[in-house]
Amino acid sequence: MNLFKINKNFVAMLLVILLSACNKTKSLEASYKTDTLNVNTEFITEKNINLNQIQQIPVNTLVSKYPPLTDSTFILGKGDGVISEFRISLRNTFTEKEIENRDIIIREVTWSCNQDENLTIWYEKKQDQWVLVDHVIWYKDALF
């Protein structure tokens, strides 16, 4: 049994719990004036989006409606796609052998959740579509 493989239902449940932490947004950072992606599992308003919506909406639509702080694409484990402390949870999704033996194309998108936190979601390119594989909510002052 591979301890690093996680049941997709467990990941989805974890995503719901973690994303519910992003439920209060007043504004983006002063230098970045646009809508904030505010993830909330209890209600939906124009500026709030719940986890089920995030999973159902294509990343390009999310990026268009909620402009991210950063949006980059890389091959996991190679060049700019090195697995740093920030990306360590991707090792729970992909085995070392997968990372070494195939080019896993990842899109890393980061939004501001609220004044203190950011949300980063990783998508894998599969058959010309971006599929959500993992995420992290992190404090803006965190050092990785």
Alpha carbons 98 and 42: distance in angstroms, whole number: 37
pTM over 0.75? The answer is no
pLDDT tens string 65-112: 889 999 999 999 988 888 888 999 999 999 999 999 999 999 999 998
Residue 25: name the closest of 120, 121, 111, 86 by CA: 111
Q: Are 118 and 140 in contact (CB under 8 A)?
A: yes
Q: How confident is the model over 35-51, as pLDDT tens digits?
A: 445 554 333 334 455 65
Distance CA(2)–CA(29), nearest Å, equals 41
Nearest to 9, CA basis, from 17, 104, 1, 49: 17
Q: Which backbone phi and psi does 79 adopt, to 5 degrees?
A: 55, -120
